Amino acid sequence: SGTTLGGKIAMESYLRGMIQSFDETRCLKIGCDQGHHNYLIHTGRLQWNATETIPTTGISYSTIARNRTTRVQRIDYFAQGEGAVNTLSIFCNDRKPATLRSMGLVDNRTDEVLNFDGSVSPVIHQFDRCLEINGILKQKEADLWSDWKNKTKDVLVGIQTSNLSSS
């Protein structure tokens, strides 16, 4: 499991490759997407020009003008817990008795999820599978909504009052 990020050309190439891979295999099982992702990344199929015909099939999946340079320039890999997106599901399942906090992956003061180097994870993916984090985030969400409602209560009433009085 993981996350894919990129610019317009890179993501278009990636998504076209994923669609082609699904079309070719017709795999409908849960998890096929991970296999297709690994295949595209590790075979270098995304490095071809997005407007060129992919050699293995003879099919061109692109509608981009052929005059443009539309090549995936670079693919960066980040191991779990090291990049901008920290995918937590690997740690949170019935077979893993340890908690993220006990593994040092949650800051005890702030309840923020951490990368392995101790930096705060900018984005956490699949947190809903971690009861420990899910509870913390649900409480933070409730607090944010409450704060927002309290801060905007007077503003909303003022707008409604001014609209009513001006009509």
Over residues 43-51, mean pLDDT: 61
- Dist CA 8 CA 5 (whole Å): 10
Q: At what angle do helices 32-43 and 8-25 cross, to 10 degrees?
A: 120
Provide the residue type at 17 as one letter. Answer: G
Q: What is the mean pLDDT of the chain?
A: 75
Instruction: Annotate 50-64 with DSSP letters as a single string.
Output: TTSPPTTT------S
Across residues 28-54, what is the average pLDDT?
72
Please state whether the predicted TM-score (pTM) of the whole model is above 0.85.
Answer: no
Q: In which residue are the tokens 């317009």 written?
A: 8
Q: What is the structure's pLDDT at 50?
A: 45
Q: Does 117 have pLDDT greater than 90?
A: yes
pLDDT digits (tens, 9 = 90+) for 128-147: 888 888 888 888 889 988 98
End-to-end CA distance of the chain: 56
Residue 120 pLDDT class (50, 70, 90 cuts): very high
Token couple for 37:
């992702």
- Going by C-beta distance under 8 Å and a sequence separation of 6 or more, which residues neighbour residue 96? none
Name the token pair of 2: 């993981």
Which residue reads 């893993």 in tokens? 96
**What's 68's DSSP letter?**
S
